[in-house]
């Protein structure tokens, strides 16, 4: 799977209206010559709980403070992305993160200061506000297999294009 295909797969895992804004942001990044990989979209509560265990019950550094149901990812309203340089992740490219964040603000995608790769739905002040809107869905969320449309391609950028 190419980085572009993986990015689209993660976009299509998101809640519909949020996915549309993320796709518009992604395409504008490509048009602006920003090459990125969206490596995470929707995340089930079980997946979130497994991440929460890292650095606590499992070896490694803590990667999240959110348990299942406490992340925008669990509602299909967050993505994680990374700039690509020569098709390889460049986790330390602050300049590209800044450019991508600036574009994201036009689509009401909120960056958080403590996690550059993360963008979430700016329509909600916190994940807790999603609880009141989707109370019955909170415990029922599970990752669903998705299929990437065969013909869907991002608009061509002047440069190379692909969190």
> Hey, which residues does 103 pair with through a beta bridge?
none
- Cα(162)–Cα(103) distance, integer angstroms: 15
Q: Which domains does the chain have, with CATH numbers?
A: 3-42+76-133 (3.30.1380.10)
pTM exceeds cut of 0.85: no
pLDDT category of residue 113 using cuts at 50, 70 and 90: confident
Angle at 49 between CA 44 and CA 51, to 5 degrees: 100
User: Would you state the pLDDT for residue 124?
Assistant: 86
pLDDT digits (tens, 9 = 90+) for 26-58: 999 999 999 999 999 999 999 999 999 999 999
Which two three-digit tokens encode residue 80? 């994680």
The Cα-based distances of 61 to 51, 57, 92 in angstroms read: 10, 11, 18
- Who wins on pLDDT, 115 or 103? 103
Q: Residue 114: what pLDDT?
A: 86
HSE-up of 37 (CA within 13 Å, CB side)? Answer: 16
The label of the residue with tokens 């995608």 reads 109
Cα gap 61→156, rounded to integer Å? 38
Provide the pLDDT confidence category of residue 100 given band limits of 50, 70 and 90: very high
Average pLDDT score, the chain: 85
Mean pLDDT, range 115-136, rounded to an integer: 80
């Amino acid at each position: 799977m190419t980085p572009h295909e993986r990015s689209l797969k993660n976009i299509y895992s998101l809640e519909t209206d949020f996915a549309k804004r993320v796709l518009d942001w992604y395409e504008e990044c490509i048009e602006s010559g920003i090459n990125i990989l969206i490596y995470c979209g929707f995340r089930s509560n079980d997946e979130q709980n497994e991440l929460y265990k890292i650095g606590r019950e499992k070896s490694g550094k803590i990667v999240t403070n959110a348990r299942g149901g406490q992340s925008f990812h669990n509602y299909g309203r967050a993505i994680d992305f990374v700039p690509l340089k020569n098709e390889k992740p460049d986790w330390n490219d602050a300049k590209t993160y800044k450019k991508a964040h600036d574009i994201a603000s036009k689509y009401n995608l909120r960056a958080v200061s403590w996690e550059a790769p993360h963008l979430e739905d700016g329509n909600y002040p916190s994940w807790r506000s999603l609880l009141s809107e989707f109370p019955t869905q909170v415990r029922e969320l599970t990752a669903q297999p998705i299929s990437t449309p065969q013909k869907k391609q991002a608009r061509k950028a002047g440069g190379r294009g692909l969190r």
